Chains A and B, each alone.
Chain A
C-alpha cells in the first residue's frame, strides 16, 4: 500500500545533508518551492525579453549596447534585427506559458499544498515527483541554451506552425539547431508534466484523509486535480505532435510538409503531409493548456474571496460543476484558433458554438465570486487585492473572448494586436494575479514569515493600473488592423498614427515591469526579516492552517487529521468564532 511505504520512509531519520534536504529532495514541499523558484527565474527572464521587445517596437532604432555585446549577430551595434525580435518573441511566449503559467499555479502551489489540504503526509510517488521537477529544470536549460547556439533561438513563435518550423534552417535563422533544441525542450517538459499529473491524480484519489470527501476539499484541490487530468490528456498529444515534428525536422519525414514546396528558390524533396495537421494537434493541446493555466488561479481567487470576506464560497457545488464543464469542453473548442486556417468553414461554426457555451461556466464563476463578496466583511490584504484584481481582469479578458468566438469577427481580429491584448489580459494579467494572490497568502505557511503588507499593497496598485494601461490600449491597435509578430511597424502608412499608442504601451509596460521589483524585494527581504508567522495568520479553515508554519517533514505532527466539514465554514451562525477548522469535531457554543 502506498501509505505504508510513505510512512516508513518518513520515520525519524538521521539529519540529512544539505543536498538531500534542499536539492535532491523527495519532500513535496521542497519540490513545490523548487518549482516556484524556477517560475520566478523564468518570469524574470521572460519579462526582460518583453521589455526588450517593447523597447524595439516603440523605438526601432534604439541601441542597447549590452545586447550588441552579447549577441553581435542578432543585434549588431545593439540594434535588434527582425529575426532577433522574432527569437525573443518565441522565447518569451514559451517561457511564460510553459515555465511560468503552467508551472507555478499547478506544479509549485499544487505540489506544496495538495497533500496538506487533503490531510496526506506526502504525494503518492515522491521520487517520481523529484524526477518531474528535474526534467522540468532540464527542459528550461535546454530552452535557454538556444540563445547561445548556432544562429539563435527559433523564430516560429511558441506555436511553431509548419512548414516554417519543419523544413530546417532554409526557412530562416534559428530554424536549424535552435528549432531542434526548442522541440527537444518541449518534449522533455511534456514528460515531466505527464509524470507530475499522474502524481496529482493518484494522490487526490487515494490519499485523502478520513472524512475528506471530494465535496469537502478546498476548491484548489478540485482545480489541481482537474488540471492534472487536462495535463495528462493534452500534453500527451503535444508530445506526440512534437515527436512527429522532430522527425520532419531531422529525419526527412513529411507529416506536416506538403509536396512541391519551394523555399528560397530551392525545391524541397519532402512532401505528402499537411501543415494543418500540426495546427489541429497543437491546438488540441493548446486550448486545454490555457485552461490548465487559469483553473488553479480561479480556485485561488475563490479561496481568497471566501477567506477575506469571512463567508463560504457562494455556490461551491456550482463552482465544481463549472470546473468540470470547462475542463470537458476545453477539448472541443480548439478550432477557434483556426478560423482563417483553411479548414472547412462548417467546423468554424461548431467550434464557435461550443466556444460560446464554454463562456457560460466562466460567467457562472464570476457570479459566484461576486456572490461571495456580497454581504461579506471584506478585509483588503494584499492577497485579497490581487484576488479582486483577478476578477476584474478575468471579466475584461473573458468578454473579448465573446468577440473572438464569432468567426466573421475573428477573421478580422485574428493575427492582430487584439488577440495579443486578449490573451495577455487573461493569462499574463489575470493568471499572474492568481500567482501573486497565492504567494501573499501562502508565503507565511511556506516560509514561516509574513510578507510586508504595505509593500504588497503598493505592488498591487502599480501592477493593477499598470496592466490595464499596458493591455487595454492594445485592443485598439488590433481594431485598427495592426498585425502581431511584426518586428517593425513601418511598412504600411496606416501604422504611423498608431505608433504613439505603441509608445504609450511600451512606457506603461516598463513602469509595470519595474514595479515588480517591489515584489522581488518584499519576497527576498521577508524570507529573512519578515514577522514570524503563526500557524493560522489569516484565520482560515483548510487543513494546511492546522500545522506549524512551515510544516514539519511529515506535514501533520502526531496523527493524521480527521475531517468533519467543508473548507469554507466562515461566519456560521451560532459558532463561537467566525471560522471553523475542517478538523474540528464539534462546535461548542
Chain B
C-alpha cells in the first residue's frame, strides 16, 4: 500500500509536470508587447511553482513509502520539531514569494497606472445583456452624451444618442465589431448599460470588468493583424454564454476604409 501511494503521487507529479512542459492546451499567441511581457512572467512563475510542486509532492511520496510501518525494525523517532529549520524555511518562502510578487509588480506598474500614449485612438466599449456595442468618436474626436432615457434596442438607438440636439453625437459611429489599426496605441473606455460584464480578449491577455455607472479605460497596442474573439467573462445573466463580438486588427488603410463605410451606415 505504501508503495502504491508513493507511485501514485509520483505519477501524478510527473504527468502534471509533463502536461505543463509539453502543454497540448495552452495560451494563444500574444498579439501585443504587453501580452508578451505577461507571458514572460507566467513562465517565471511556472518554473518556480513547478519546482516547489515537484519537491513537495516527491518528498511526500518518498516519506510515505520510506517510513512505512511495515518495514522491518520500524521505529518512530521522537521529535517535537526544529524551530531553526522551520524559521529558515519560512524566511526562504517569504523571500521567494515576495520576489515573485516583485517581478509581477514591476509588470503591473507598467500598464494600468499609465495614462494613454499621446495620440492614442479612443473607442468606447458598451456591454449590455447580451451584446457588445462599440463607439468611435468620429472626426470631431468627441463622444456625444448617452441618454439612458433614450436607450432603446428595439429602435436601434443602443447608446441613447440624441443626434438631433447633441452636436458631438452627430458623427459618432456605433458598430457591433471592434476594429482597430495595427501598431497604433488604443484606449478602450469600458461602459455598461445594465450588469457587470467583462471584456476579455485572450490574445491581448486583457480582462477588465465593465461596471455600470463607471467608465473604465484600458490601453494597449495590437501588433498582429487578425480576427480575435471578445468574450464576456463576468456572469451577467442567462445569455452570458453567448455574449461575444469580434476584435479585428487591420492595416491602417484598411481601418480607415472600414470606418468610412460604417460612418455612412449610421
Interface, chain A (partner B; CB < 8 A) = 81-83, 86, 155-157, 161-164, 171-173, 258-265, 267, 274-276, 309-318, 340-342, 345-346, 348-349, 352-353, 356-357, 359-361, 363-364, 366-368, 370-371, 373-380, 385, 388, 391-392, 395-396, 399-400, 402-403, 405-409, 411-412, 414-416, 457, 461, 464-465, 468, 472-473, 476-477, 479-481, 483-489, 491-494, 497-498, 501, 570-573, 578
Say which residue of B28, B64, B76, B83 sits within 8 Å of A315 (CB atoms): B83
Once the chains bind, are B76 and A360 in contact (CB under 8 Å)? Answer: no
Say which residue of A341, A357, A376, A379 sits within 8 Å of B98 (CB atoms): A357
B211 interface residue per 8 A CB criterion: yes
Once the chains bind, are A164 and B2 in contact (CB under 8 Å)? Answer: no
A316 proximity list for chain B (CB < 8 A): 80-81
B152 proximity list for chain A (CB < 8 A): 265
Once the chains bind, are A406 and B104 in contact (CB under 8 Å)? Answer: yes
Closest A residue, CB atoms, query B194: A263
B258 interface residue per 8 A CB criterion: no
B45 interface residue per 8 A CB criterion: yes
Complex Cα distance, B69 from A380, in Å, reads 8
Once the chains bind, are B59 and A415 in contact (CB under 8 Å)? Answer: no
A380 proximity list for chain B (CB < 8 A): 1-2, 5, 64, 68-69
Interface-forming stretch among B162-170, B172-180, B181-189, B230-238?
A: B230-238
Once the chains bind, are A399 and B49 in contact (CB under 8 Å)? Answer: yes
Once the chains bind, are A578 and B49 in contact (CB under 8 Å)? Answer: no
Say which residue of A312, A342, A360, A480 sits within 8 Å of B209 (CB atoms): A342
Once the chains bind, are A265 and B153 in contact (CB under 8 Å)? Answer: yes
Once the chains bind, are A262 and B5 in contact (CB under 8 Å)? Answer: no
A371 and B82 contact, Cβ closer than 8 Å, known pairs A82-B241, A260-B148, A360-B94: yes
Interchain nearest-CB distance for A208 vs B (Å): 22
- 19 further contact pairs, Cβ within 8 A, besides A163-B212, A353-B101, A357-B97: A161-B195, A258-B213, A262-B194, A310-B76, A312-B81, A376-B63, A376-B67, A377-B67, A377-B74, A378-B2, A380-B5, A392-B9, A395-B60, A396-B16, A406-B101, A479-B26, A491-B241, A494-B202, A494-B229
B259 interface residue per 8 A CB criterion: no
A412 and B207 contact, Cβ closer than 8 Å, known pairs A464-B8, A483-B231: yes
Once the chains bind, are B90 and A360 in contact (CB under 8 Å)? Answer: yes
Interchain nearest-CB distance for B94 vs A (Å): 5
Once the chains bind, are B239 and A82 in contact (CB under 8 Å)? Answer: yes
Say which residue of A317, A406, A497 sits within 8 Å of B100 (CB atoms): A406
A364 and B8 contact, Cβ closer than 8 Å, known pairs A267-B148, A392-B60, A570-B76: no
Complex Cα distance, B96 from A206, in Å, reads 41
Once the chains bind, are A356 and B97 in contact (CB under 8 Å)? Answer: yes
Complex Cα distance, B111 from A59, in Å, reads 41
Interchain nearest-CB distance for A291 vs B (Å): 18
B1 proximity list for chain A (CB < 8 A): 380, 457
Say which residue of A314, A376, A480 sits within 8 Å of B25 (CB atoms): A480
Interface-forming stretch among B50-58, B117-125, B135-143, B248-256?
A: B50-58
Once the chains bind, are A465 and B211 in contact (CB under 8 Å)? Answer: no
Once the chains bind, are A156 and B235 in contact (CB under 8 Å)? Answer: yes
Once the chains bind, are A311 and B78 in contact (CB under 8 Å)? Answer: yes
Once the chains bind, are A276 and B211 in contact (CB under 8 Å)? Answer: yes
B94 proximity list for chain A (CB < 8 A): 357, 360
A415 proximity list for chain B (CB < 8 A): 198, 200, 207, 233-234
Complex Cα distance, B239 from A292, in Å, reads 34
A379 proximity list for chain B (CB < 8 A): 69
Once the chains bind, are A407 and B244 in contact (CB under 8 Å)? Answer: no
Complex Cα distance, B74 from A388, in Å, reads 19
Interchain nearest-CB distance for B224 vs A (Å): 16
Once the chains bind, are A364 and B86 in contact (CB under 8 Å)? Answer: yes
Q: Give the interface size class of chain B.
A: 35 or more
Closest B residue, CB atoms, query A86: B238
Complex Cα distance, B128 from A163, in Å, reads 12
Once the chains bind, are B28 and A402 in contact (CB under 8 Å)? Answer: no
Say which residue of A171, A262, A360, A416 sits within 8 Å of B233 (CB atoms): A416
Once the chains bind, are B53 and A399 in contact (CB under 8 Å)? Answer: yes
A173 proximity list for chain B (CB < 8 A): 238
Once the chains bind, are B67 and A491 in contact (CB under 8 Å)? Answer: no
Once the chains bind, are A260 and B235 in contact (CB under 8 Å)? Answer: no
| Interface contact tally, CB-CB below 8 A | 338
A360 proximity list for chain B (CB < 8 A): 90, 93-94, 97
Say which residue of B38, B68, B104, B232 sits within 8 Å of A412 (CB atoms): B38
A359 proximity list for chain B (CB < 8 A): 93, 97
B79 interface residue per 8 A CB criterion: yes
Once the chains bind, are B80 and A314 in contact (CB under 8 Å)? Answer: yes
Once the chains bind, are B202 and A481 in contact (CB under 8 Å)? Answer: yes
CB-CB nearest 5 A-B residue pairs:
A258-B213, A415-B233, A315-B81, A406-B104, A481-B202
B2 proximity list for chain A (CB < 8 A): 378, 380
Complex Cα distance, B159 from A302, in Å, reads 58
14 A-B contacts (beta carbon < 8 Å): A173-B238, A258-B211, A258-B214, A312-B81, A316-B80, A352-B105, A364-B86, A371-B86, A380-B68, A388-B60, A392-B12, A395-B57, A477-B25, A570-B76
Complex Cα distance, B202 from A376, in Å, reads 48
Say which residue of A357, A405, A492, A573 sits within 8 Å of B229 (CB atoms): A492
Once the chains bind, are A491 and B244 in contact (CB under 8 Å)? Answer: yes
Interchain nearest-CB distance for A571 vs B (Å): 4
Interchain nearest-CB distance for B153 vs A (Å): 6
A155 proximity list for chain B (CB < 8 A): 235, 237-238
B263 interface residue per 8 A CB criterion: no
Q: Which of B18-46 contact A (CB under 8 A)?
A: 19, 23-28, 38, 41-42, 45
B129 interface residue per 8 A CB criterion: yes
Complex Cα distance, B19 from A501, in Å, reads 13
Interchain nearest-CB distance for A95 vs B (Å): 18
| Max chain B Cβ within 10 angstroms of own Cβ: one of A403, A408, A465 | A408
B265 interface residue per 8 A CB criterion: no
Once the chains bind, are A408 and B194 in contact (CB under 8 Å)? Answer: no
Interchain nearest-CB distance for B239 vs A (Å): 7
Interchain nearest-CB distance for B58 vs A (Å): 11
B207 proximity list for chain A (CB < 8 A): 340, 411-412, 414-415
B75 interface residue per 8 A CB criterion: yes
Render B200-236 as a binary contact track against A, CB cut-off 8 A, 1 for contact: 1010011111011110100000000000010111111
B19 proximity list for chain A (CB < 8 A): 472-473, 476
Once the chains bind, are A348 and B56 in contact (CB under 8 Å)? Answer: no
B154 proximity list for chain A (CB < 8 A): 265
Complex Cα distance, B207 from A348, in Å, reads 14
Once the chains bind, are B241 and A374 in contact (CB under 8 Å)? Answer: no
B196 interface residue per 8 A CB criterion: yes
Say which residue of A260, A314, A488 sits within 8 Å of B241 (CB atoms): A488
A395 proximity list for chain B (CB < 8 A): 52-53, 56-57, 60
Once the chains bind, are A402 and B100 in contact (CB under 8 Å)? Answer: yes
Interchain nearest-CB distance for A319 vs B (Å): 9
A317 proximity list for chain B (CB < 8 A): 81, 83
Interchain nearest-CB distance for A251 vs B (Å): 20
Complex Cα distance, B210 from A341, in Å, reads 8
